[in-house]
Chain A
Amino acid sequence: MTIDELIENFAFFDSWEEKYQYVIDLGANLEPLEQKYKTEEWKVNGCQSQVWLLPKYSEGKIHFYGDSDAILVKGIIAIVLLIYNDKTAAEIKKVDVMEIFAKLGLEENLTPSRRNGMMSMVEKIRYYADLYRK
Chain B
Amino acid sequence: MYDVEQIRGDFPLLAQMVNNKKVAYLDTAASAQKPACVLDKMSEIYRSAYANPHRGTYYFAEKITAEYENARKIVQEFINAADSREIVFTRNATEAINLVAATWGIKNLHAGDEILISEAEHHANLVPWQHICEITGARLVVFKVTDEGDFAAELFKQKLSAKTKLVAVTAMSNVLGTIFPIEKIVSAAHQNGAKVLIDACQFAVHHRIDVKKIDCDFLAFSAHKTYGPTGVGILYAKAQILESMPPYQFGGDMVDNVTYEKTTFAEIPARFEAGTPASVQAIGMGEALLYMQKIGLDNILHHELEMTEYMEEALNSVPHLRIIGQPQNRGGVFSFAVGKIHPQDLAFVLNKENVAIRIGHHCAQPIVNRMGYTSVARASLGLYTNKEDINSLYEALLKAEKFFREE
Question: Which residues of A are in contact with B by a Cβ distance under 8 Å?
Answer: 16-17, 20-21, 24, 48-49, 69-73, 116
Contacts and interface: CB of A to CB of B under 8 A. Distances in A.
B345 A70 contact: yes
Contact of A48 (B341, B352, B375, B403): B375
A71 B404 contact: yes
Contact of B342 (A16, A17, A20, A70): A70
A16 B352 contact: yes
Interface string B346-365: 00100010000001100000
Which of A70, A73, A116 is the most central at the interface, judged by chain B CB atoms within 10 Å of its CB? A70
27 contacts: A16-B352, A17-B403, A20-B348, A20-B403, A21-B403, A24-B404, A48-B343, A48-B344, A48-B359, A48-B360, A48-B375, A49-B344, A49-B375, A69-B342, A70-B342, A70-B344, A70-B345, A71-B341, A71-B342, A71-B404, A72-B344, A72-B345, A73-B342, A73-B344, A73-B345, A116-B344, A116-B348
Contacts of B375: 48-49
Closest 9 CB pairs of A and B: A70-B342, A70-B344, A49-B344, A48-B344, A70-B345, A72-B345, A71-B345, A72-B348, A16-B352
A56 to B, nearest CB: 27
Interface residues on B, range: 10 to 19
A49 B352 contact: no
Nearest to A71: B345
A17 B348 CA distance: 11
Contacts of A21: 403
Given A16-B352, A72-B348, A49 B342 contact: yes
A71 B341 CA distance: 8
Nearest to B360: A48
A73 B344 CA distance: 9
Nearest to A75: B345
A17 B344 CA distance: 16
A34 to B, nearest CB: 21
Nearest to B341: A71
Interface string B213-248: 000000000000000000000000000000000000
